[in-house]
Structure 1
Amino acid sequence: MASSKNADLRSYLESVDRSALVDLVLELSADDPALHRRLSLRAATHGKPDVKELRRLVGGLRARGFLPYGRGFEYARKAAEVLDGLDSVVGSHPAEIGPLFLAAIQNITRTTEHADDSSGSIGDVLRRAVSGYAAVCRAAPPDPVRLATWLIDFQVAGPGWPDLPIGAFADALGARGLEAYRDRLAQLTGEDGRTARHLREEYLKEIAKDPDALVALYAEELPLAYRYVQIGATLRAAGRAEEAIVWLRRGLAEADRPDRRIDELLADVLTETAEFGEAADLRWKLFTGWPRPESHRALLDAAERAGTLAETSDRADVFLRERAKAGGHAADPLVEILHAAGDADGAWAAGTGHRCSAGIMWRLAVERAETHPAEAIPVFERQVEAEIDNKTKKGYAAAARLATELKVLHDRAGSAGFPDYLAELRHTHRNKPTLIATLNSANL
């Protein structure tokens, strides 16, 4: 429902003479570039598109000078409005609007080279421009050879963005354009760097669908560890599991550095080919290197297939408990795995017994407070002190909220100790007037 002020304004505007109202809007837009742009876009897209005016507005997307972080949002909104205008008329006039999308991509890209886009807002609108151009090329294909050449040269000679996915332009390129694209790729040399390699990879994946050529491309950069992963994944997807296993085993022996992704993929493929014993061995290696609930579940799954579930489970438990004796973060995996398995009492006992890290202990305490309030009280008290140690208003407010929860915990536990705790807290921190005032405001 409109407010009374809006209703009064509407009533006034409806009473103004049409010519005077037009003059008023023009006067306001003269002092407001954003309003002027929006009105210009509406005018240029009303009825038959005013291509000349739209080209001017797209030209305005090439920013002058450096764009700091805050102005990046303003620029992104401006670009989005222009793209909205192009979208509104592209369906009926694709051939005329296509070059404007192309110009928008070029202008926004140049702007990103001189902008702080750590928020990603300009990048988002740039990707939208690429999607719009791909769509318009499908609706009204430009010269396929020129399009193929532009797709490659813009990325190779540009700053490395935006990505112009060949799959999105394949229909517009057609057979002749794809052939030109392949020929242009072949002309690139090793000096063209990683962008050219990426384009070759995407072409082989999306268009040629040639696993052997992909393997050969990845093999050019061996013994980089991740290349073994890519080779294994490519062969696995092609239904060539045995070859994938050979390459992944080579990766374990030859890669320039250890990479758990090689082990994980090899374990998966070995499981698919019923090599359960070797897969379980790899899962043990992965678990001991990164003991977490996920790797523990994967280990037990592999051990069950290998017929060694009972002994593997016991072995893992011994490993976790020996590790936990060091306390702190070393105890975290045991606590997390017990908790993930639904053993709340075991997780609590392990956390308190080995003094696991404060963050995990706090999460356990919040849960424990629901059923065992007395046991959670010491952890809540430590968390109060941790918040106070931040020495900020936000920290003091959090401490007051926790102290209020502590009062409830004492009541639920049938404890009469909260007044003594609160008195000690106020005495210990008597020289922190902001904290004391916060406690007073919370009636503590």
Structure 2
Amino acid sequence: MSRRSDLRAFLLTLDVETLVDVLCEQADRDEELRRRLSTLRETEEPTRAVLDDGAAQADGVQFDSVLDTVARLLDAGTSADVTSLARRTADRLAAAVRDGEDPSPHLTEQLGRAVSLYARACTAHPPPATELAEWIVRLAFERPDRCEVRLADFAEALGADGIAQVRAAVDAVLADSPVDDEDGGDPMRMRVARALRLEIAEITSDVDTVVSLLSEELPRLDVSLRIVRVLRAAGRHSEAIAHAAKALGNGAASRTETAGGVVEALERVRTRQSPVDTSDVEALLRGNRFDEAWKAAAGHEPSDLIPLYRECVERLIESRNSQCYERAAGQLRRLRLLYRRAGASAEFSAYLAELLARHKRKTRLRDELRKARVALPKVLAG
């Protein structure tokens, strides 16, 4: 037995009061120990106040302080393991959302934020892959209408074994509810299962599966462009060209309802033109350096930037917190201007309606759009 094991075994025999006295005495001499204990206190005290309070679970308001604490510690690069705290907070929020007849949008957003923070904590201090995979599957399918799990956020912590375990669970759901069986299974569970299966394929670079799953969403020119980009990234250029040509042929009648920039991007692939280099703007957008990106955008054609700004908006919305919703609204204002400069204002209206229809439960996103003076489609403006 190691010296550490011997010491641990001895400490376990001591009563709590004795251990507290020893720690306090040592903390008076050891500044690093004092700092670590202070960090734990800052982490645990707000948690107890919230997690032990049934009323707080009901409305979720006080959970903000816990989530802010976890975020602050992670942002500061703390060496403390906040995984258990983030997990407990996510579990309590999940229970409140699951058991509530009509949970508030704020509570649902808090759950999304808690899951994202737990993913960050897991990256720093990975729990056992099997345990994490089971937790993700349970959360994803327990009430699929109330919580979305982004598997990519957990990919590093899961590792190959954990991802394989999640895939087995997802495949079981898909097998129990065939796509062509109208009476089979829960449609929401199927939607979640297909979304997770797509993420797994992307994480594992399974290009054929990515293309197959995306093809289920056709005909949509934006989906076709995504397929084309996947194929080109994999070096399968001839297939990308063929798919672009097919998409433009099938989508010709509905181009007025789609983004002009998407059509032009597909046209360039179809005619084997070199893609326009917009990497400067893309890099700035991915780094959330939005003002710099907008300045760089002045050197490009508006239609070339529309796909980039659409991807940026989607990424921000999927982050599922109010700050990112505010940023998404700001970028939607700029996207609207790009459509206008490209002579496709009507296409922006159609795009915005489709975007909000997909994210109809995110009421705070609509609030931010109103603040940013982005006119909502009439059917959603109420």
Scaled by the length of structure 2, the TM-score of the pair is 0.48
Q: Which structure would you say has the larger Rg?
A: 1
- TM-score normalised by structure 1 residue count: 0.42
